[in-house]
């Protein structure tokens, strides 16, 4: 089990954090999608909102961990065969967009809750408010948060589609470098 990246595959920590983030993001989205299906005033609907907040703040914490691990894991493994330089640049832009999404979306959610002026309590602990109460600002922040969340579906989908295209169409090692417990051969 290698914690650092090798020339042929990502290290264990990078791989684990990548897939845990996927599960966490799926749970964040599931909370809001299921909340929309639950009847107003139901216990399920009431429980899903704070769970969404908790999971959203967990995304923010996990992205910080991911960045720390990424910076310490060494250079990314080589893609074999090497893709054209335009694909490499597009990949860098996609990763930048994904990290921006994973930071901005939960941060905007936290700012929205802060601007609503309501106490933010998770597991009995009070989460500090980042802003003073401001109803108009809260609505604008919520709109941006929801727009970014919608864009996240597309970013995540494009990321997955690109990995699958590399695997099944280009036949390079892009996908297998990130699969747990697999050889990159």
Instruction: Give pLDDT tens digits for 93-136.
Output: 999 999 999 999 999 999 999 999 988 887 788 999 999 999 99
Residue 37 in tokens:
């299906």
Residue 137 in tokens:
């600002």
* Cβ within 8 Å of residue 1, ≥6 positions away: 12
- Looking at residues 10-19, what average pLDDT do you find? 97
Q: Global pTM?
A: 0.92
Give the pLDDT of residue 176: 96
Looking at the chain, how many residues does it have?
A: 185
Instruction: Give the residue from 93, 28, 34 showing the smallest Cα distance to 60.
Output: 28
- Looking at residues 86-99, what average pLDDT do you find? 97
* Cβ within 8 Å of residue 132, ≥6 positions away: 114, 115, 117
- Looking at residues 47-68, what average pLDDT do you find? 94
Provide the residue ranges of all domains of the chain, joining segments of one domain with +.
Answer: 12-178
Give the pLDDT of residue 184: 44
* CATH of segment(s) 12-178: 1.20.950
Give the pLDDT of residue 185: 44
Residue-wise pLDDT for 127-171, tens only, equals: 999 999 999 999 999 999 999 999 999 999 999 999 999 999 999
Q: Is the pLDDT of residue 72 over 60?
A: yes
């Amino acid at each position: 089990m290698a914690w650092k990246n090798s020339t042929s595959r990502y290290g264990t920590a990078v791989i684990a954090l990548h897939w845990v983030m996927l599960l966490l993001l799926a749970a964040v989205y599931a909370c809001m999608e299921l909340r929309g299906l639950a009847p107003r005033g139901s216990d399920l609907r009431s429980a899903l909102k704070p769970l969404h907040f908790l999971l959203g703040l967990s995304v923010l914490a996990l992205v910080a961990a991911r960045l720390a691990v990424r910076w310490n894991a060494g250079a990314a493994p080589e893609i074999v065969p090497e893709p054209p330089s335009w694909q490499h640049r597009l990949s860098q832009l996609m990763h930048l967009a994904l990290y921006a999404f994973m930071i901005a979306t939960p941060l905007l959610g936290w700012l929205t809750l802060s601007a609503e002026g309501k106490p933010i309590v998770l597991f009995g602990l009070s989460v500090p408010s980042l802003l003073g109460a401001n109803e108009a600002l809260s609505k604008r922040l919520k709109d941006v948060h929801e727009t970014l969340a919608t864009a996240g579906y597309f970013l995540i989908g494009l990321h997955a589609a690109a990995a699958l295209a590399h695997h099944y169409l280009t036949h390079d090692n892009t996908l297998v470098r990130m699969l747990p417990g697999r050889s990159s051969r």
